[in-house]
Structure 1
Amino acid sequence: MPVLTVALMVGLLRAISTLPYRVVARFGSFLGAALFMFPSRRKHIVLVNLRLCFPGKTQQEYNDLARHHFRHVVRSYLERGIQWFGSEKSIQRLVELESDIDLDDKDAPPTIFMGFHFVGIEVGCMLYSTRLPVAALYTRMSNAGLCDVAKRQRGRFGAEMIERSTSARKIVGLLRSGKAVMLAADMDYGVENSVFVPFFGVDACTLTSISRLARLSRARVVPFVTEVLPDFRGYKLKIFEPLAAFPSGSDETDARAMNAFLEAQIMRFPEQYYWVHRRFKHRPEGMPGVY
């Protein structure tokens, strides 16, 4: 992506940050529905994922769910202007926080906050960083300039941004020092350090990094989900109780537990999960590709 294109994108996001949230959200929803009308690679991926995970629906039901998803995804891209360039107070006004654990507990054990790729994940992480110290893992983008902007803006409220490829030793050190770490492990990053376990009944390449980090640091694993609220009212960050008996000592058992928890959350608002990702990119040996 040329430097000028990146500059134009950043300028557009800055301009969007000055607009009322409801205006941005409504326009993003409209634009997403419009874009769904045209054939695209991403539309194909969404429909493949939905057919695999929710067998038995009619084609109209798949199309309706995919259209709603496109509305949310495109919204999330435009709302990133507010998330990246809006003020701390604007983020706090937009995001409700509900927690099943005491976030101010000075004697809390090392904590891994386990996130999932719902469309609101980014703003939920940013809201948390306005309140308490945290480190957050990110995946480097293919465009260095855009990646630098994203890293800087995501961490502007004090979050320590750590590239996913960083050594486990550094992350364990942060956990043992008392700083919570946020990361997500629900995407297909390849077979290395992963196991194949069911996700909605389909074998999915699932990372084992959370299990490994939890064992090394003796950390509790606390799931969190950010939901987009109806009627353009903003978002809700929900922090759950720590997963029971996690880590179990078995990577496969832990991966199954993560996927089971995620499935339960997806069923609450399936249109908000990031179906545009190729969740089944890698397949067990001997099984054909699906995309």
Structure 2
Amino acid sequence: MASSQFDRALLHPRHWPTWIGFGVWFVIAQLPYRWQMAMARVLAPLLHLNKKRVKMARTNLQLCFPQKNAAEIEQLLEANLQSTAMAVFETGIGYFWSKPRLRKLFSITGLEHIEQAKTEGQGALLLSLHFTTLDIGSAMLGVCVNYDGMYSPHKNKVFDYVQKVRREAYVKEGIAISRDNVRAMVAQLRKGRMIWYAPDRDLGPKVSVFVPFFGVPAATVTATAQFARMGRAQIIPFSQYRRADGTGYDVVIHPPFENYPSGDELADARRVNEFVEQEILKAPEQYLWAQPRFKTRPEGAAKVY
């Protein structure tokens, strides 16, 4: 499959502000890591201006951590906004740093699980989740693992082009596959390819079943098990965590799921949510809480947003 092709229409003057924005982003991304994290601390309070997303994050935290009091929820929310501000700079680092420079920022464990799958000639879904460190984590994984990635196309055509090109650059032989291109996804898995995949979003009732997520019924996609079955692939989860001391990141590749898919749609979806919950609890402030995880509600249930 060919890499992204540049369309001259992207040079139209209406796209110039986006190109200028990327140029500024590129320049900022070249600054020392600690400088960028300091800039994130300045940016974080400004995120309160997006009242809709802040309210959504607060609601999600209240639903998922009912044992926390109001003060604890607000403390976690502020830490999450700080983490979200860091993500702006971390994504630029993931897009624009060289691999040798990026390699100095992280440690990685569990590569033997990838090697074992390759030895067995099996493809694998590299099961990720929407931490704020998603893009830098994917870039760090690409330094050590040859994989393809699933992504959601962006409405802004320039942003979509740059996003796709830079994500393909994470891995020399990697391609970015639209989440709607099921045929390409399955074909790559059957070739023995590793594919980055994050299933922890609410994509609506047609492709989901309701299973608990932190005790709350959540529309959870069934595609994870379907891809594994159709692609004859393993599920190998991985996570990345921002270190509390500000020195970088730890990337952890976990053992593959056993006996998955099981054939039980609800049990398979619940198993994915259990993994997501387990990883969130290790660094709850680093999860992307400002997404509408509970947008789809069971019949008769009240809306939460």
Give TM class, smaller chain.
over 0.9
Q: 1:96 is matched by which residue type in structure 2? A: S
| CA offset digits 1:152-190 (Å, max 9, x no partner) | 1111132211010102x3222111111111100001111
Partner Cα distance (2:52, 2:78) in 1: 14
TM-score if structure 1 supplies the norm length? Answer: 0.94
Which position in structure 2 is the counterpart of 1:28? 40
Task: Kindly report which structure 2 residues correspond to 1:262-277, keeping only aligned pairs within 5 A, or say none.
Answer: 262-277=276-291
| CA offset digits 1:258-279 (Å, max 9, x no partner) | 1111111111110011101010
**Partner SS for 2:195:** strand
Task: Kindly report which structure 2 residues correspond to 1:252-267, keeping only aligned pairs within 5 A, or say none.
Answer: 252-267=266-281
Residue 9 (structure 1) shift: 1.8
Which position in structure 2 is the counterpart of 1:163? 178
**Partner SS for 1:31:** helix
1:244 counterpart = 2:255 = no
Query: Which of 194, 213, 238 is equivalent to 1:224?
Result: 238
Residue 59 (structure 1) shift: 1.3
| CA offset digits 1:41-78 (Å, max 9, x no partner) | 11100100000000132211111000000000011012
Residues 243 and 249 in structure 2, CA contact (< 8 A), matched pair in contact too: yes
Partner Cα distance (2:113, 2:214) in 1: 32
Q: How many residues align?
A: 289
Which position in structure 2 is the counterpart of 1:172? 186
TM-score if structure 2 supplies the norm length? Answer: 0.90
Structure 2 unmatched runs, 5+: 1-13
Q: 1:11 is matched by which residue type in structure 2? A: G
1:8 counterpart = 2:20 = yes
Alignment identity in percent?
32
Structure 1 unmatched runs, 5+: none
Give 1 or 2: higher helix fraction: 2
| CA offset digits 1:110-143 (Å, max 9, x no partner) | 2111100111122222222233321100001121
Task: Kindly report which structure 2 residues correspond to 1:1-291, keeping only aligned pairs within 5 A, or say none.
Answer: 3-32=15-44, 34-35=45-46, 38=49, 40-99=51-110, 101-105=112-116, 106-108=118-120, 109-156=122-169, 157-158=171-172, 159-167=174-182, 169-291=183-305
Which position in structure 1 is the counterpart of 2:7? none
Residues 26 and 232 in structure 1, CA contact (< 8 A), matched pair in contact too: no
Partner Cα distance (1:14, 1:278) in 2: 30
Task: Compare 102-111 and 154-163 and name the one that shifted more.
Answer: 102-111
Residues 113 and 236 in structure 2, CA contact (< 8 A), matched pair in contact too: no
